[in-house]
Amino acid sequence: MLYAPTYRNNNEIALDIDLLRQEHQHQALLLIKLHPRVAQGNLIEDDFVKIVPVSDDIRTYYPAADLIISDYSSIPFEVSLLAKVPQMLFYCYDQQEYDSLQGLQPSWKKMLPGKIVTTTAQVSRAIAIPETFDFQSYNQRWNQYTVGEAVSKLSTYLAS
């Protein structure tokens, strides 16, 4: 599992890692990739939790993840381009506060390629009973112009 929350001013990690450890430590590993501006705080690595170094590119972890837990980030756009798309959960425990401070697109809930959960208990249940999502339609909608030829097209344009 890869947990990658977006930036928040309060450095809060609202996911109850102890609860997830109790319920999933025997069948999972939780990678935590914090935003570069968020301090690691009191997060401690153990057999269940691994902290992804700030300097590591999160995209290198996508193919290894069976589940990505995020919130309001752009991660779904990147993940939907993968050949094997992992399950996604959106842990949006602070939707109203986040919307008032950062702002969200009015239809953001309809755009997400996965389930929205608001508590760690819901996260845990969703881990235990995975759901699939049609990433192909999502990818066609959001990445219709992403065909893997950007560098070639730019080179051709610059050479002409």
pLDDT of residue 147: 66
Least confident range of 59-63, 115-119, 123-127, 147-151: 147-151
Whether 160 has a pLDDT exceeding 70, the answer reads yes
CA–CA dist 46, 44 (Å, integer): 7
Q: Considering the entire predicted model, what is its pTM? A: 0.80
> Per residue in 18-51, pLDDT tens?
999 999 999 999 999 987 777 666 788 999 999 9
pLDDT of residue 142: 72
> Per residue in 90-141, pLDDT tens?
898 877 776 666 666 676 777 777 888 999 999 999 999 888 777 777 777 7
pLDDT of residue 39: 66
Q: Where are the domains of the chain?
A: 2-159
Regarding predicted confidence, which is higher, 77 or 142? 77
Confidence class of residue 80 from pLDDT cuts 50, 70 and 90? confident
pLDDT of residue 126: 93
2-159 has CATH 3.40.50.720 classification? no
pLDDT of residue 155: 86
Task: Give every CB contact of residue 142 below 8 A, 6+ residues apart in sequence.
Answer: 76, 77, 80
Residue 115's CB: how many other CB atoms inside 10 A?
Answer: 17
The long-range contacts involving 129-137, CB below 8 angstroms and separated by at least 24 positions, are: 130/67, 130/87, 131/87, 132/87, 133/87, 133/88, 135/79, 135/80, 135/85
**Contact indicator for 25, 49 with CB cutoff of 8 Å:** no
